[in-house]
Amino acid sequence: MTALPSRWLILADDLTGAADCAIAFARRGLAASVGWHGSTHGTTPGAVPRQGAAAAPAVLAVDADSRRLDPAAAAARHAALLDAHHAAGVGLIKKIDSTLRGQPAAELAATCTLLRQAGQPRLAILAPAFPATGRTTEAGSIRLQGAALESTPLWARDHSYDTAHLPAVLQGVGLSTRHLPLSVIRSGPARLATALQQAIAEGLDAVVCDAVEACDLDRLAAASLPMADEVFWVGSGGIAAALAGTLPPAATPAAMPLLPPARGGVLVVVGSVAEASRAAAARLVEAGRATRFGVPPALLRAGDRHPGWGALAAGIADSLAQRRDTLVEIDADPAADLSQGAILAERLAALLAPAAPVIAGLFATGGETACALLTHLGVHGIRLLEEVEPGVPLGITEGALAIPVMTKAGAFGHEGTILNSLSRLHALPGA
């Protein structure tokens, strides 16, 4: 039996996904940090740090920021990050979007190829279900709140493939694949382990695993974790939570960093067009808990040349300086071009940068938005502390600014998520 990994590397295609996977390990007492592509943060888990440098975390999650890239570019970026950060004996999780946005198939194919070239052929255990957030996998296909993913507004707005049937998606990039239905997942530890070992022996690239309840992922984690030197895991926060829950808790929990005193109001940034985030922002305003500033997409496209740029930036900063919780939301735009998401996120970050000295805490939806904003604020990583709701982790920023921060994938959560998150931020010492 393989020794259970004590160090983990999580490669993700966006920031919120990296965080909601890594937080599962923080809950077990392991030091867990998130960094991102292009930042100076992030040492190979288990590596010996340079003299004077901070010790490497037991769990390092790296955001490749690849969701908007084309398949070849996304694959190349993930391969480069894997080559830079992975080491023998380190458990590997390839985090993908639970609704198949981005280029998960191309990224997975590149991961399999690099591992083979390094003499480490491994079976990819593909389990994207996240039942706590309504994502399940049945008959090899992803379902959202019980409905076929292809029938949902989320798929209509943003999808990369013609189907959400996972074996077909993987076969489309040349990966040899087998589907493990619920009957196998629930057949008992011995039969499930045998099915995985047979796939390894046959040299398959991947198995697609059904999961409808969290306990299905728990069964899969328990059966596969002893094979850690022969497999890696591909999925979302659901499989990360199952794997972390299978590990023994840390003998000595990682020391938590001290929280800084509050300097102003909490900044809430909603850059996602997802219905769940919009509903939560509306509920926040209805409850009178935040001052709202709408940001027209036309202003972001024009940048600081727009005549309203300076006044809006100053108004947001002044609201925070008055210790008011402040909601900044990109206005709905029926003509929005999702391919411009990265540009709009960068411009929004530039608009908010002058408010940095008076931000007491940050809640951000949408991975691109959060990553762009934190980078503009001189932040290169997040040390994770706890999970407030499924998929909503709390941490402390690392770099030029040290503030509590919470991130959320745009489509996660419910109407009360932002209100609950604000309450938790204000309950922190010094808030």
Question: Phi and psi dihedrals of 148, rounded to 5?
Answer: -60, 130
Please work out, in degrees rounded to the nearest 5, the angle formed at the alpha carbon of residue 220 by the alpha carbons of 218 and 226.
105
Report CA 372 to chain centroid distance, whole Å: 14
pLDDT on residue 387: 86
Please provide the DSSP assignment of 224-266 as one string: HGGGTTTEEEEE-HHHHHHHHHHSPPPSSPPPPPPPPPP-SEE
Residues 185 and 56 in one domain: yes
Residues 24 and 75 in one domain: yes
The total of structural domains in the chain comes to 2
pLDDT on residue 72: 97
**Residue that is last in its domain, among 246, 281, 296:** 246
189-201 vs 214-224: helix axis angle to the nearest 10? 60
- The CATH number that applies at residue 373 is 3.40.980.20
Residues of the chain with pLDDT > 90, as a percent, come to 64
Say how many C-beta atoms besides its own lie within 10 A of residue 317's C-beta: 21
CA 290 – CA 322 distance, rounded (Å): 12
Note whether residue 258 is domain-resident: no
* Residue keyed to tokens 């499989």: 239
pLDDT digits (tens, 9 = 90+) for 148-204: 999 999 899 889 999 999 999 999 999 999 999 999 999 999 999 999 999 999 999
By residue count, the chain amounts to 431
pLDDT on residue 340: 62
pLDDT on residue 341: 66
The answer to whether residue 4 scores a pLDDT higher than 60 is yes
Please provide the DSSP assignment of 367-431 as one string: HHHHHHHHHHTTEEEEEEEEEEETTEEEEEEEES---EEEEE-TT---TTHHHHHHHHHHTSTT-
CA 173 – CA 38 distance, rounded (Å): 27
Residues 325 and 413 in one domain: yes
Q: Which helix (H) or strand (E) holds 105?
A: helix 104-117
Residues 229 and 302 in one domain: no
pLDDT on residue 158: 87
The answer to whether residue 44 scores a pLDDT higher than 60 is no
**Best mean pLDDT range from 186-200, 380-394, 399-413:** 186-200
Residues 44 and 165 in one domain: yes
pLDDT digits (tens, 9 = 90+) for 195-241: 999 999 999 999 999 999 999 999 999 999 999 999 999 999 999 99
* Structure tokens belonging to residue 175: 């990966």
SS3 270: strand
Residues 276 and 233 in one domain: no
Residues 182 and 41 in one domain: yes
Q: What is the CA radius of gyration of the chain?
A: 21
pLDDT confidence tier of residue 427, bands split at 50, 70 and 90: confident
Report CA 177 to chain centroid distance, whole Å: 25
The answer to whether residue 6 scores a pLDDT higher than 90 is no
Please tell me the pTM assigned to this model.
Answer: 0.83
Task: Note whether 138 and 165 are within 8 A (CB).
Answer: no
Say how many C-beta atoms besides its own lie within 10 A of residue 427's C-beta: 8
CA 245 – CA 27 distance, rounded (Å): 9
pLDDT on residue 36: 86
Long-range (24+ apart) CB contacts under 8 A made by 249-256 are: 249/28, 249/29, 250/28, 250/29, 250/30, 250/58, 252/29, 253/29, 254/26, 254/29, 254/30, 254/31, 254/32, 254/58, 256/385
The answer to whether residue 305 scores a pLDDT higher than 90 is yes
Residues 45 and 98 in one domain: yes
* Residue keyed to tokens 């204000």: 426
Q: 372 is in which domain, residue-wise? A: 265-426
Residues 161 and 195 in one domain: yes
pLDDT digits (tens, 9 = 90+) for 87-135: 888 999 999 999 999 999 999 999 999 999 988 889 999 999 999 889 9
pLDDT digits (tens, 9 = 90+) for 340-353: 667 888 899 999 99
CA 289 – CA 419 distance, rounded (Å): 8
Task: Note whether 399 and 381 are within 8 A (CB).
Answer: yes
**Residue that is last in its domain, among 191, 214, 246:** 246
Note whether residue 345 is domain-resident: yes
pLDDT confidence tier of residue 368, bands split at 50, 70 and 90: confident
CA 244 – CA 125 distance, rounded (Å): 16
Residues 6 or more apart in contact with residue 319 via CB below 8 angstroms: 265, 291, 293, 326
CA 322 – CA 274 distance, rounded (Å): 30
pLDDT on residue 47: 41
pLDDT on residue 51: 33
Residues 238 and 330 in one domain: no
pLDDT on residue 303: 93
**Residue that is last in its domain, among 182, 215, 246:** 246
pLDDT confidence tier of residue 37, bands split at 50, 70 and 90: confident
Of 111, 37, 44, whose CA–CA distance to 67 is shortest?
37
Task: Note whether 209 and 127 are within 8 A (CB).
Answer: yes
- The CATH number that applies at residue 102 is 3.40.50.10840
pLDDT on residue 1: 53
pLDDT digits (tens, 9 = 90+) for 275-295: 778 888 999 999 999 999 999
The answer to whether residue 336 scores a pLDDT higher than 80 is no
Please provide the DSSP assignment of 2-59 as one string: PPPPS-EEEEESSHHHHHHHHHHHHTTT--EEEEETTSS----TTPPPPTTSPPPPSE
Note whether residue 30 is domain-resident: yes
Note whether residue 3 is domain-resident: no
SS3 60: strand
pLDDT on residue 400: 86
Residues 99 and 191 in one domain: yes
pLDDT on residue 53: 39
Residues 227 and 281 in one domain: no
CA 275 – CA 293 distance, rounded (Å): 19
Note whether residue 346 is domain-resident: yes
Diameter of the chain by CA atoms?
A: 67
Average pLDDT of the chain is 88
